[in-house]
Chains A and B, each alone.
Chain A
């Protein structure tokens, strides 16, 4: 256990030199690189935090935009539904109006058809009634009925309204005209003379009279003077009756 002062002092110097060497070539470079790495890690962490913050902000903005878009979508859907409902109601109203118009048109057509059908039936009934009456009256048209009608003719001529008498008098002044008297049966001379006088009384002067027979009259007479005609026969009465029925229908 010897003690050497040279070794003692040299060891102190050597150790201090070793401290400098290790500080220069070990501690400082290693600590520097560790510090750089730590700074890099800190920077990376700071960047990560910044990116996380930005991502959070973007996420918040995105969620806000999504919420807004959702609200706009719902509002647009509501508007669309309202528009569709209004359009549907408008179309339904138009369709109902068209249906009502078509129904009214059908009703009018049906009524017209019913009226035409009723009129046709009535006319057919009137025609059948007239034909039946004509056939019946043809069977009862006899000279006796003719005589009765002759009496009625004379009576009618005597009680002819003033207007008819004046019309006949006006027609009688036309030169060249003559009275035509048609009868279903032949008139004897006495009746012709009596009728001629009655006509002359009505016309205000004696006019030539031509007598003729027309079996279509069934029974009775037809007296004409130009445009003036006096009907006193079954055929014309039936026509008047049928016409009155049609006009009444």
Chain B
């Protein structure tokens, strides 16, 4: 795996092709959404209906886990799904590398998920009540809770990075060994895998956030069970 090329620098930050690709994805998504949503009507056309379908499907998926917080979580979880799908699929385009095939990117996303879990948890339950769930059901389990926080975040980053990187590498190897059209089935698998990995990443993030927001409820439920 070749090193990511640094295209230029802005102050202390080295601007790599991965970052530029991310900007391209952001620009494309922003322009597309702006063009599509500037003239929304109550009688939607095909494109508006498709867009409403995507947004509604994401909202319903979130509502299935957290019925009362769907609109609160939609920007974060929905953006994870959308960005990761496009970041994964960019790797299919020749001469471009998917940002999610880079550990720095997936680690950044995983860190955001890690932080958002605590952010939404504290926002929902309050700091004291949120921290209490680390001592539940017994303070002895505190190290395991902390270890779980770290490991699941690392797993989140490595899972996405490993899958996408391996797909791109496999396609490259097949292309080098077999010829021009041989990697086509592998690229189709790449598309499916891109969608699946995006869904898994977003769904895991949603479950982590939901667990943090419902931690106090789980705690109270456990205490009631112990009293009985």
Could you list which residues of chain A lie within 8 angstroms of chain B, going by C-beta atoms? Answer: 1-12, 14-19, 21-23, 25-27, 29-34, 36-37, 40
Contacts and interface: CB of A to CB of B under 8 A. Distances in A.
A34 B4 contact: no
B26 A18 contact: yes
B52 interface: yes
B104 A4 contact: yes
Contact of B108 (A15, A25, A32, A40): A15
A22 B82 CA distance: 9
Given A19-B76, A23-B75, A6 B12 contact: yes
B126 interface: no
Contact of A29 (B1, B29, B40, B165): B40
A12 B59 CA distance: 23
Contact of A6 (B16, B52, B112): B16
Interface residues of B, number: 49
Contacts of B210: none
Contacts of A37: 42
B14 A6 contact: yes
Interface string B1-42: 101100000001111101100110110011001100100111
A153 B103 CA distance: 190
Given A14-B22, A15-B112, A7 B74 contact: no
A7 B78 CA distance: 22
A31 B55 contact: yes
A22 B79 CA distance: 7
- 7 closest residue pairs by CB, A with B: A11-B108, A7-B104, A25-B33, A29-B37, A23-B75, A26-B33, A8-B104
A40 to B, nearest CB: 6
B89 interface: no
Contacts of B161: 1
22 contacts: A2-B4, A4-B14, A7-B16, A7-B104, A8-B105, A11-B99, A11-B105, A14-B26, A18-B79, A21-B26, A21-B30, A21-B33, A22-B29, A22-B78, A22-B79, A25-B30, A26-B55, A27-B74, A27-B75, A30-B40, A33-B48, A40-B42
Contact of A19 (B42, B79, B99): B79
A4 B16 contact: yes
Contacts of A22: 29-30, 33, 75, 78-79, 82
A27 B55 contact: yes
A189 B103 CA distance: 203
B222 interface: no
Contacts of B187: none
B93 to A, nearest CB: 19
Contact of B23 (A14, A16, A26, A34): A14
A36 to B, nearest CB: 6
A41 to B, nearest CB: 10
Interface in B100-116: 102-105, 107-109, 111-112
A1 B1 contact: yes
Nearest to A16: B112
Contacts of B165: 1
